[in-house]
Amino acid sequence: MLKPILKKLIYPWHLWRVIKLQRNRKRNARVYDDAQLKLYHQILPGDFLHYGYFDNKDIHPLDVSIRMIYQAQERYGQKLLELVKDSDSPILDVGCGMGGLLGLMNQKGWNAIGLTPDINQAKHIREKYCNTLLECRFEDMDATKYHSYFGTVITSESLQYLSLDEALPLIKSILKQGGQWVACDYFKTGKQGEKSGHNWEHFTAKLQEHGFEITKQEDITLHILPTIAYVHHWATQIGLPVKEFLVNKLQTKAPGFYYALQESLPKIDEKLAKNISTVDPQEFAKNKKYVLMNIVVGE
Question: In three state form, how does the secondary structure of 215-275 look?
Answer: EEEEECHHHHHHHHHHHHHHHHHHHHHHHHHHHHHHHHHCHHHHHHHHHHHHHHHHHHHHH
Q: What is the DSSP letter of 29?
A: -
Amino acid at 277: S
Rounded to whole angstroms, the Cα distance separating 38 from 122 reads 12
- Angstrom distances, CA of residue 270 to CA of 2, 69, 172, 262: 26, 29, 43, 14
* pLDDT per residue as tens digits for the range 58-102: 999 999 998 899 999 999 999 999 999 999 999 999 999 999 999
Rounded to whole angstroms, the Cα distance separating 109 from 116 reads 21
* pLDDT per residue as tens digits for the range 125-181: 999 999 999 999 999 999 999 999 999 999 999 999 999 999 999 999 999 999 999
pTM: 0.82
